[in-house]
Structure formats: C-alpha cells, structure tokens
Amino acid sequence: MDFCKKCGSIMIPIKQDDGGSFLKCRSCGAKINKPAINYKIKESVKKSKDIAVIEKDTIVLPTTEKDCPKCDHGRAYWWLQQTRSADEPPTQFFRCVKCNYTWREYK
C-alpha cells in the first residue's frame, strides 16, 4: 500500500493501455510514475464469480478483523484493486486467513 506524500491519502494503482502503470492519489490527484503493484494478481473466473486471486507466497498482505462468510473465522487478509474504470473507487477484497475463501466488498 502506498500513500500520497502530499496529503497522506491512499494511492490507487492505475493501469495504462500500454501495460504501464502509475499511482494516483484519490484526494489531491498527485501521480507517481512507478510500478504500482509489486505482487502478482491474476484474474480467475470460477463458476459465476470473477474474483482476483493473489498467487501464493508472493507478498504478505495486511490482515483485519473480518468475519469469513464461509467458516466464520474472524480474521482476513485484505487488499484494494481497481477492477473497473479508474474514475471509480477500488474494490476491497478479503481473504480468510484460515480457509482462504476470498470475497469482495464494494465501498
């Protein structure tokens, strides 16, 4: 997670058509031209859901107190991902630390 040097808000990774990416501040619009994502995220389509899957052992994600909808475990990894257009807020994903169930929440 990167934070804006100007205002301290969360920087959003924005992908460009040429494959490059940069970070943009949600609040003040400041940009940083460095690779935004240092861990691999790959989209996988399972059944009717499309949930991003982070490849194992590539990064240690932060955890938060969150009840898993599957096994009721109270702690989950979380991350933000830009899934729609760059103008919209990123989607928050959670992954249960116990059963690895992954789900998303729209803000």
30 touches Zn ion by CB under 5 A? yes
Q: Mask 58-87, x = binds Zn ion (CB under 5 A)? A: ----------x-xx-x--------------
Residue 87 is a catalytic residue: yes
User: Rule CB under 5 A: is residue 12 a binding residue for Zn ion?
Assistant: no
- Show contacts with Zn ion in window 33-62 (CB under 5 A): none
Cα 65 to Cα 73: distance, rounded to the nearest angstrom: 9
What lies within 8 Å, CB to CB, of 81 at 6+ separation is: 41, 52, 90, 91, 93
DSSP state at residue 23: E
Q: Tally Cβ neighbours within 10 Å of residue 104.
A: 14
User: Could you list the residues that contact Zn ion (CB under 5 A)?
Assistant: 4, 6-7, 9, 25, 27-28, 30, 68, 70-71, 73, 96, 98-99, 101
Catalytic residues: 87-88
